Amino acid sequence: MSRRQFQPPPRTDAAPPDDTGCTILHVDMDAFYASASLIDRPELRGTPVIIGGGGRSVVLSATYEARAFGVTSAMPMTRARRLCPHATVITPDHDRYAAISAAVMATFESVTDQIEPLSLDEAFLDVSGAVRRIGPPSFVGQWLRDTIADEQGITCSVGVSSSKFVAKLASGLAKPDGLLVVPDGEVVGFVQQLPVAALWGVGDRTEEVLLQLGLRTVGDIAHTPLETLQRALGDAAGAHLHDLSWGRDPRRVQPSQVEKSIGSDETFPYDVDDPAVIQRELLRLADRTAARVRSAGMAGRTVTIRVRFADFTTITRSRTLREHTDVSRDIYATARALYDALGLQRARIRLVGVRLEGLIPVERAAIQPRLDDPDYGWREADHAVDRASARFGPGAVRPASLVAESAGFRPPPRTRQPPRAPSAG
């Protein structure tokens, strides 16, 4: 809980919007990573700034001045630099973002304990328990905006409504630096005027399907038979969109969301066809994944690998183990077996990933020592590595093959062979 008590601002005489029953707030930081990066670089305010790395990375965030040139999040950096060559490029500082996010979440906690973070820069709040203590939801929303601006030096936008879906739409329309209330009686009209792509769950593919059906607005979806939507999009997605098109969204704010999987992907700076390089990368990713799983106090049962080829086709392979594990060696061995089973012969690979799914708390995992386990086995070794990493920094202790890699590894020359199709299964 927050150590700071809520301090209500002076009330104004402006007529408040009708926010009766609108107890769901969606708070979304404006261009969060860019705004956070400019706290220490105030001279760059009002100028185009792009947050992103080099090589094959994409744009993490951009100031509104850069967005005016067509730069958007997730756009390849090479393209962003072309669109806005005079922009200042800043390398992301994730530790800084996490610290600011934690401070913002603490501000939320001074209002309500019903907080559902969606990411570092946005969250749903259910303020129904705070209305009597603090004031109407829109008043709470404005106080949050003022407080975050004062204390963190960044702006945010707030959507206020009676459901998560509409609150999120409202915050998006309020951007930047605004607050929008959608009263209960206006939800259907508000939603149905929007284009189909505004709906949560409609991405490029689904939008294309809907447009092919002649559906351009949410109102069009609302007046389409449910069976037609389900035939085109599947039972779940069809029903979901039909509900949203009438403003129906019964999902409640869920304060605690348990992780269901943990994993890491890595895109190589160049396409790789050397099996040894890929095996080392799998080892590194398995190590990293296992450390995160142990740090979260979890254990998982299904190991999934992902392989993306040079032509961007992507395959996944998974295997469910007999027992849950948090041991680096088990995860690597399974990932390696899955990769070997692909039977790839010098295919050009762009990315590999390792993920552990089916997570449960480690104390519920009932991990059984095997008869051939030594007294102090791989789990104890992992915990020793974790302790060393905590004391001396990540990577203080690594598998020997990774140490050799950092000492002398050189990337292989680029090749021109096309990717080989993976074997069936």
Partner DNA sequence: TCTGGGGTCCTGGTACTG
Partner DNA sequence: TCTGCAGTACCAGGACCC
Q: Residue 215 region, left (φ>0) first, then alpha (ψ -120 to 50), else beta?
A: beta
CA distance 143 to 266: 41
Active site residue 323: no
Binding-site member from 57, 217, 279, 415 for DNA (CB under 7 A): 57
361 binds DNA (CB under 7 A): no
> 313 vs 345, which CB is nearer to DNA?
313
User: Does residue 76 belong to the site contacting DNA (CB under 7 A)?
Assistant: yes
Tell me: does residue 404 bind DNA (CB under 7 A): no
Six-digit token string for 42: 């105030």
| 238 residue type, one letter | G
Is residue 398 within 8 Å of 381, Cβ to Cβ?
Answer: no
Using CB under 7 A, pick the residue from 355, 362, 382, 385 that binds DNA: 355
316: contact with DNA by CB under 7 A = yes
Of 13, 43, 150, 204, the residue at the interface with DNA (CB under 7 A) is 204
The residue count of the chain comes to 425
CA–CA dist 256, 309 (Å, integer):
37
List the structure tokens of 217.
Answer: 């607005």
294: contact with DNA by CB under 7 A: no
Q: Which is nearer to DNA, 193 or 320 (CB)?
A: 320
How many Å apart are CA 284 and CA 51, to the nearest integer? 26
Residue 295 binds DNA (CB under 7 A): no
Q: Which of 11, 205, 391, 410 binds DNA (CB under 7 A)?
A: 205
The two tokens of residue 338 are 């899955």
Does residue 354 contact residue 335 with C-beta atoms inside 8 Å?
Answer: yes
Those residues with Cβ within 8 angstroms of residue 350's Cβ, 6 or more apart along the chain or in another chain? 267, 268, 271, 272, 308, 309, 310, 312
Residue of 42, 203, 393, 413 interacting with DNA (CB under 7 A): 203
Question: Is position 420 an interface residue for DNA (rule: CB under 7 A)?
Answer: no
User: Residue 412 corresponds to which tokens in the numbers above?
Assistant: 């292989």
Q: Does 336 bind DNA (CB under 7 A)?
A: no
- Alpha-carbon span 117 to 253, nearest angstrom: 9
For residue 250, the one-letter residue type is P
By C-beta, is 137 or 353 nearer to DNA? 353
Catalytic residue among 43, 109, 116, 122: 122
351 lines the binding site for DNA (CB under 7 A): yes
Q: Does 260 bind DNA (CB under 7 A)?
A: yes
248 versus 317: smaller Cβ distance to DNA = 317
The Cα–Cα gap between 57 and 33 comes to 15
Looking at 197-205, 219-227, 381-389, 395-403, which segment touches DNA (CB under 7 A)?
197-205
Residues between 4 and 43 that touch DNA (CB under 7 A):
none
Of the candidates 185, 201, 343, 418, which one interacts with DNA according to CB under 7 A?
201
Q: Where are the beta strands (DSSP E) in 107-154?
A: 115-119, 122-126
R_g (Cα) of the chain, nearest Å: 25
Per CB under 7 A, the list member of 19, 30, 65, 122 interacting with DNA is 122
* Alpha-carbon gap, residue 66 to 56, rounded angstroms: 20
Q: Which of 313, 322, 334, 349 is nearest to 263 (CA)?
A: 334
Please report how close the Cβ of residue 376 comes to DNA at its closest, in angstroms: 29
Which residues in 100-119 contact DNA (CB under 7 A)?
118-119
Q: Which active-site residues does the annotation give? A: 122
Q: Which residues bind DNA (CB under 7 A)?
A: 56-58, 60, 73-74, 76, 78-79, 118-119, 121-122, 168, 199-207, 234-237, 259-267, 292, 302, 312, 314-320, 338, 350-351, 353, 355, 357, 422, 425
